Amino acid sequence: MRIVIQRVSEASVEIEQKIVAQINQGLLVLVGIEEEDNLEDINWLVSKIINLRIFADENEVMNLSVKDIDGEIIAVSQFTLHALTKKGNRPSYIKAAKPDIAIPMYEKFVQQLEAELGKKIQTGQFGADMKVALVNDGPVTIIIDSKNKE
């Protein structure tokens, strides 16, 4: 699994001109799933997301997690995170999991985030054409791949 975490002061997801998810301070997490990803990848990434110390403390040092600040999270599925661009100019998405694998994995990922954060996780809609808006706070953007955990 590959994720892109963006620290935001606000973010939203719009589908067919309707806001389906909206948060204030917290994280926008873009989620890419590969066919060989499993529960171990989900557990490791959820722990990283919940405990990543990227919010400022009283001394303006990035020392607090999203849980520490009682922040919110939007998780958006994004198969393009697994784009292969080595050959030519048209990306290949062959490494991205097909919906029959990706949808249950994405749903489990969101459930795990909710369990760890202790609150509802806002989401986009798998496979939909989404308009994602955000104010990246910092900016802080972090890419994590569960295949690079060692």
Q: Which residues are catalytic?
A: 80
CA nearest neighbour of 121 among 75, 71, 76:
75
Rounded CA separation 1/23 (Å): 24
Whole-number Å distance between alpha carbons of 105 and 38: 8
What is the signed CA dihedral for 127, 141, 18, 50, rounded to 10 degrees?
Answer: 80
R_g (Cα) of the chain, nearest Å = 15
